[in-house]
A and B are shown apart, each in its own frame.
Chain A
Amino acid sequence: MHIPDGYLSPITVVSTYLVATPLWIYGFKRLKKILDEETMPLIGALSALSFIIMMFNIPIPGGTSGHAVGVALIAILFNPWIGFVSVSLVLLIQSIIFGDGGISALGANALGMAGVGAFSGYYTFKLLKKRKFAPFIAGWVSAVASSLFIAIILGIQPFWSEGGKPLYFPFDLATTIPALVGSHILFFGVVEGILTQLIYSYIKEKK
């Protein structure tokens, strides 16, 4: 789901940054407010965990691969703003140090994987709070919703073309939605759900 550089039209790049920047500023303030000796090791470890989780590429039938993100877990353990800012930071490190996801696409990637992922996971969890499998469903919804956002951003790119040839990402919504959302419904969302459920239950379990 990490959109590389060159895949998005300049208008998409600018508008995703314009939407993301005030949210980053507000989220960062929320993060600073709760960051202390007690929460820092937790939020730091959960963010490092998100980074490591994204290194587990899972191959699926059809010749592609994907991974879980771990943002739903942070969102339900703290709140969605913390999830959004922490995973945005993870995406920033991935793009600068490892070339995973473009710098120009950071706004889009953060809004999708971190933002949509955190808020959809958090509100799903709140809705299902008493149910045993709420973390699983929250993780699944989070991954599927993120993939839908990324699929839409990619799928509108053929709009910018020259002489009938797309200038940026060439496949439209009819291709991106089944490919990205479908694979998250069937595979990566399930992995995200299992991971969220297992880790949540394990660290919340009474001794």
Chain B
Amino acid sequence: MNKKLYIILTILFALTPLGLLSSYSAWGEWDNEVYQKLIGFIPKGIENASSIQPLIPDYGEGSVVMYYLSALIGGGLIFGIFYLLSRSKR
């Protein structure tokens, strides 16, 4: 089961830039200007939303290299956390 899972993971990793082909935003995950256009104003909460500055905003904002890097960093970090969790038991 392990080996097969890593094969799938490698293939999907290699294909990740395909995820960049869509230039459409996910429904509801729009830039603020879209609200201006759709309803004539930007809801206050959305306009004044405070958030932290992400390390790699939007997975590198369309660059293929950054998209690969994002997949590596994200996937690696997640795997690493599970590894550490399993180690911390003993």
- A interface residues with partner B (beta carbon < 8 Å): 1-9, 31-32, 35-37, 39-49, 51-53, 55-60, 63-67, 86, 89-90, 93-100, 102-104, 154, 160, 162, 165-171, 176, 179-180, 183, 199, 202-204
Contact = CB atoms under 8 A, between A and B. Distances in A.
Contacts, number: 188
Contacts of B71: 51-52, 55
Interface in B10-53: 12-13, 15-16, 18-29, 35, 39, 41, 43-52
Contacts of A36: 86, 89
A98 B23 contact: no
Contact of A97 (B43, B49, B55): B55
A203 B86 contact: no
Given A6-B47, A89-B78, A170-B35, A49 B9 contact: yes
Interface residues of B, number: 58
B86 A40 contact: yes
Interface of B: 1-2, 4-6, 8-9, 12-13, 15-16, 18-29, 35, 39, 41, 43-52, 54-59, 67, 70-71, 73-79, 81-83, 85-86, 89
A79 B44 CA distance: 41
Nearest to A97: B55
Contacts of B50: 5-6
A51 B71 CA distance: 8
Contact of B77 (A1, A5, A93, A102): A93
